[in-house]
Amino acid sequence: MQWSNQIQNYQVFIYWGLLAVMAIGVLGAVVPALPGSSLVLAAIVVWGLIKGLGSISLALGVAIAVLLASTVVDLLATFWGAKKQV
């Protein structure tokens, strides 16, 4: 219970830190070296653990859908690219 009070004291700093992680994740959609949607999903999950997972259900669902879609597109692009090379 004591750690919960400490987190509430630093909630603003955690919020802005997670917002920065999300911004880097959005940049990851363009920059290949950054793990884009994974960072956004991780930030949402951390915020959900702090605020309660019920408050982020829609955002978490959308982030998981985007992560799955980006993974499928990445795999298909790799498959089609490799198929054209042969």
Q: Which residue has the tokens 């019920």?
A: 54
Q: Does the pTM exceed 0.85?
A: no
* CA gap 83, 60 in Å, rounded: 34
* CA gap 29, 26 in Å, rounded: 5
User: CB under 8 Å to 34, separation ≥6 — which residues?
Assistant: 24, 25, 27, 28
**Domain segments of the chain as ranges:** 2-85
The pLDDT profile of the chain, 86 residues, written as one tens digit per residue, is 566 666 667 888 888 998 999 898 888 878 878 788 788 888 888 888 888 878 788 888 888 888 888 888 888 888 887 766 55
Cα angle 49, 18, 28; round to 5? 120
* CA gap 10, 15 in Å, rounded: 9
